Structure formats: C-alpha cells, structure tokens
Amino acid sequence: MADEGKLVDIVTFSSVSDFFKDLDTKLVEMRSKLGELLRRLEDAKAKAEVLVRLESLLAEAARGAKIGGTEISLGSAKAIINPTPKQEFDLLVDVVRSLQNRIVALERIRKEVEPLSKLGDLELTLEVVYENGLPTRILIRM
C-alpha cells in the first residue's frame, strides 16, 4: 500500500544521458526557486522586524494590543487571513528549509547514480520511480 501523502510517479527516459539531463534541469530549477524564495525571505524578515517593534510600542501604549493575521483550519490545510509579516516570514523559512533539503537530497542522489553515466548512450530505456520528486528506483531495460 502506498504511503498517504506521498507523491509517486514513473518517468521513462530513452537514455541514461536523458536521465542525467533531467536531474540537472531539476537541480537548476530548484536552485533558481530557492534564490527567489531567499530574496522574498529577506523582504519578509525586514517587515517582520518592523512589526515586532510596532507591536512592542502598541503593547506599551494599548496594553497588549496585537496586530495579527487570523489563522483558520481547513482540514489538513490552514488559511491565514491578512498574514502578519512574522507569519509570512515563518512560512517562508519553512519553505526555504524544505527546498534546501530537497536540493541536498537530489544532489546526493545525483552523485550516487553517477556510475550509471558510464553506460553512455547505449540503447537502454530507464524507468525511474520518483517519490515526492526524488528518484528512488531505476528500472533499466535493454
């Protein structure tokens, strides 16, 4: 039985080099996305720092007034209405960490499957099982 919440896919490649091109493309895309997220994270950090100062001043003046986004549960998902800069910053930190972990995992896998590159462009078909975007099994067919 497949694990719930795990995205599983099978991708077929007509050669080993096509598989490595795909891995390299995924890494480039992930690194690009990480760069975008890091820029966004810096902006969110600056806003969050301003909010912390503002809340501190309001807490003194208005006895604990709090500026905040309302979080509601939608089953297994959550919605934040008018998120505070702090909430946005915390969310972006989680996303950045997750993406960094995925990049490290994909780089590790890329290195581990490197011996397959010695097969060159032999007439092989590869069926690669991806779990949550990472290759976990490779079927090599002649």
CA distance 25 to 19: 10
On whether residue 89 sits in a domain, the answer given is yes
Amino acid residing at 3 = D
On whether residue 101 sits in a domain, the answer given is yes
Q: List CB contacts of 5: < 8 A, sequence separation 6 or more.
A: none
CA of residue 110 relative to chain centroid, distance: 17
For 81-132, what is each residue's pLDDT tens digit?
778 888 999 999 999 999 999 999 999 999 999 999 888 768 889 999 999 9
On whether residue 3 sits in a domain, the answer given is no
* CB count in 10 Å sphere of residue 140: 14
On whether residue 2 sits in a domain, the answer given is no
On whether residue 56 sits in a domain, the answer given is yes
20 phi, psi to nearest 5 deg: -65, -35
On whether residue 121 sits in a domain, the answer given is yes
On whether residue 16 sits in a domain, the answer given is yes
40 phi, psi to nearest 5 deg: -65, -35
122: left (phi > 0), else alpha (psi -120 to 50), else beta? beta
pLDDT on residue 47: 86
On whether residue 32 sits in a domain, the answer given is yes
For 39-77, what is each residue's pLDDT tens digit?
999 999 998 888 778 777 766 766 655 556 677 777 788
Q: Are 129 and 19 in contact (CB under 8 A)?
A: no
pTM greater than the 0.85 cutoff: no
How many structural domains compose the chain? 1
List the domain range (segments joined by +) for residue 123. 8-141
pLDDT on residue 18: 93
